[in-house]
A and B are shown apart, each in its own frame.
Chain A
Amino acid sequence: GQQLNQSPQSMFIQEGEDVSMNCTSSSIFNTWLWYKQDPGEGPVLLIALYKAGELTSNGRLTAQFGITRKDSFLNISASIPSDVGIYFCAGRIGNQFYFGTGTSLTVIP
């Protein structure tokens, strides 16, 4: 299957700091998605991006669909303790979704 390279694998930050993570691929995607997964729960959609260059915000979260359509990043500003969790990127080609391996975020109060 398609490979999505997500980095960093884990992050430990102080409350109030900004966070940045990204996903890259050798394939072109039609849609980029960012999910958050809490322990014992399913992934929850945070942001969906539909066209190259698109920059979308959802509260303190901002994500961009790369111009080449092969990458995307997610920024979280002014992190808070409830931001803790695993963040996944996903790319869609046709009716198939491909997922990154996740970024584990720990926020230290």
Chain B
Amino acid sequence: NAGVTQTPKFRILKIGQSMTLQCTQDMNHNYMYWYRQDPGMGLKLIYYSVGAGITDKGEVPNGYNVSRSTTEDFPLRLELAAPSQTSVYFCASTPMTEAFFGQGTRLTVV
């Protein structure tokens, strides 16, 4: 019953550092998404993927990169962390009807 699993749960980065947020799902969903959630705001789409090897930009892609080499995994990469990237990041997958979310990664850039 794993569903969507995100790691790490928390991370503090210094400005300019890089990191990869991991996301994996065991439901064989083709569609996967990365969102960021800021206080008082709805979820904003960063990147999404409609299947292995296919990714596309969402509403707020600047400063991020993704890859989708397998159906299960959809990592999000921050190359040069900036304070504006302090947020809670959620990965989600869907069979094209309902979206299922991971538990989130809380990232602080100082």
Q: A-side interface residues toward B, CB under 8 Å?
A: 1, 4, 6, 31, 33, 35, 40-45, 48, 50, 88, 90, 92, 95-102
In the A-B complex, the 3 residue pairs with the smallest Cβ-Cβ separation, listed nearest first, are A42-B101, A99-B42, A99-B43
Chain B residues with CB below 8 A from A43, complex form: 43, 90, 101
Q: Given A95-B50, A97-B33, A45 and B45 touching (CB < 8 A)? A: no
Cross-chain pair count, CB within 8 angstroms: 58
Q: Is the CB of B104 within 8 A of A42?
A: yes
Chain A residues with CB below 8 A from B98, complex form: 31, 33, 45, 48
Q: Is the CB of B104 within 8 A of A41?
A: yes
Q: Is the CB of A42 within 8 A of B102?
A: yes
Q: B-side interface residues toward A, CB under 8 Å?
A: 4, 6, 31, 33, 35, 40-45, 48, 50, 59, 90, 92, 94, 96-104, 106
Q: Is the CB of B99 within 8 A of A97?
A: yes
Q: Is the CB of B101 within 8 A of A48?
A: no
Q: Given A43-B90, A101-B41, A102-B42, A33 and B50 touching (CB < 8 A)? A: no
In the bound assembly, the distance between CA atoms of A48 and B98 in angstroms comes to 7
Would you mind naming 5 contact pairs between A and B with Cβ atoms under 8 Å apart? A6-B42, A35-B101, A41-B104, A42-B6, A97-B99
Contacting residue for A42 out of B33, B45, B96, B103, CB 8 A: B103
Chain B residues with CB below 8 A from A98, complex form: 42
In the bound assembly, the distance between CA atoms of A86 and B15 in angstroms comes to 31
Q: Given A41-B104, A42-B90, A88-B42, A31 and B59 touching (CB < 8 A)? A: no
